[in-house]
Amino acid sequence: MNFPTCSLWIFVARTDVAFMMHTIPHILRMSHFPFEERVLAIDTAPLSGDKLLRPGIGTMEELRTLTQKLLEAKVIDRVVDFNYDPSYRQRIFNKHFGSPLRATHNYKGYPILGSIFKIEECKSDYMVHFDSDMMMYQQPDFSWIKEGIELMDKHSKIMFVRPLAGPPTADGTIFQKASYQLHPDGFYQFKFFGSRLYLINRKRFEQLLPLPIIWRSYRQSFLNRFPLFIKNYLNIYAGKGKLESWEIMVSKKLEQTDYIRATLTNPKAWTLHPIDRSPAFIKALPHIIEKIEAGEFPSEQAGHYDLIPQLWY
């Protein structure tokens, strides 16, 4: 195959100020892939949902200063803001959901419009997305992205690929709430999608559209009995309703189709996601990253996708 182009996109917001100068350079060091472009996408919208409760929230000025430092250090190539222009939102949501919704974030404050924005604005054949808090190990002689692209070229029903979730276990076990199967070609196949880290073929993703619109339960219970088009109307014209997560809507579409998400089983690359945002975590973060980049981890962490704080600090 003529090897296709691939770009890297990373989300940043005010909630990431406390740790992004550690994690983003780390992500690039571990990726060691010839990306066509490395882009930071900034969410400039007011914080909402549980994002308002995150510790260490910075100002937009602090966020701009840090992204500029990453740009000047050539860690990344470009910085862009999410496009919140109403006409852009309507056009993109019509394409992805079949409706010009007003809500741009899910009920937790995670950007749905931003998730779509980066896919639309990326110019490469493939795109890798990282949330800015992700951490990853990858052996220098291995590329999970290259393996993922080759796998997607071989299997037309793979819609997303990600590296191994959590450090490897001796028997290959991964501790996941979502059900999965081991494919004969050596990858785990899921009908559940995770939005924190993934590789996609941008053209193939369009075959998944439109996505189903899923609303969270309303406080006024009688509204839950309304048909979908009424709920959509209430959001478009009155701003009512809170959307479910984009990954839940994508997962629902995977369930309705033959497409799957693939998780690689190769132990040469694996990821960790930190839930803790405490001062203790921020203080320990450089040491954690140092250990991960060396491929070291507590044995009890093996197979677990979320970082277990008490094992690391």
CATH code of residue 280: 3.90.550.10
Give residue 1's pLDDT band: very low, low, confident or very high (50, 70, 90): low
Give residue 284's pLDDT band: very low, low, confident or very high (50, 70, 90): very high
Q: What are phi and psi of 253, to 5 degrees?
A: -70, -35
Q: Check whether 167 has a pLDDT greater than 80.
A: yes
Report yes or no on 57 lying in a domain.
Answer: yes
Mean pLDDT of 299-304: 97
Report yes or no on 1 lying in a domain.
Answer: no
Tens of pLDDT, residue by residue over 24-80, are 999 999 998 999 999 999 999 999 999 998 989 999 999 999 999 999 999 999 999
Give residue 172's pLDDT band: very low, low, confident or very high (50, 70, 90): confident
Q: What strands lie across the sheet with 197-201, from one edge to the other?
A: 78-81, 38-42, 6-12, 126-131, 197-201, 158-162, 260-264, 187-190, 180-183
Mean pLDDT of 216-230: 84
Mean pLDDT of 231-248: 92
Report yes or no on 287 lying in a domain.
Answer: yes
Report yes or no on 198 lying in a domain.
Answer: yes
% the chain with pLDDT above 70: 100
% the chain with pLDDT above 90: 89
Provide the token pair at 127: 């795109």
Q: How far is Cα 94 from Cα 214, in angstroms, rounded to an integer?
A: 15
Report yes or no on 172 lying in a domain.
Answer: yes
Name the domain count of the chain: 1
End-to-end Cα spacing for the chain: 45
Report yes or no on 154 lying in a domain.
Answer: yes
163 close to 144: Cβ distance less than 8 angstroms: yes
Tens of pLDDT, residue by residue over 55-67, are 899 999 999 999 9
Q: Check whether 148 has a pLDDT greater than 90.
A: yes
**Cα 106 from chain centre:** 14
Give residue 173's pLDDT band: very low, low, confident or very high (50, 70, 90): confident
For the ranges 69-73, 176-180, 304-308, which has the lowest average pLDDT?
176-180
pLDDT greater at residue 224 or residue 145: 145
pLDDT (0 to 100) of residue 177: 84
Range of the domain at 170: 6-312
Q: How far is Cα 247 from Cα 159, in angstroms, rounded to an integer?
A: 13
Give the CA radius of gyration of the chain: 19
Report yes or no on 100 lying in a domain.
Answer: yes
Report yes or no on 208 lying in a domain.
Answer: yes
Tens of pLDDT, residue by residue over 79-110, are 999 999 999 999 999 999 999 999 999 999 99
3-class secondary structure, 10: strand
165 close to 273: Cβ distance less than 8 angstroms: no
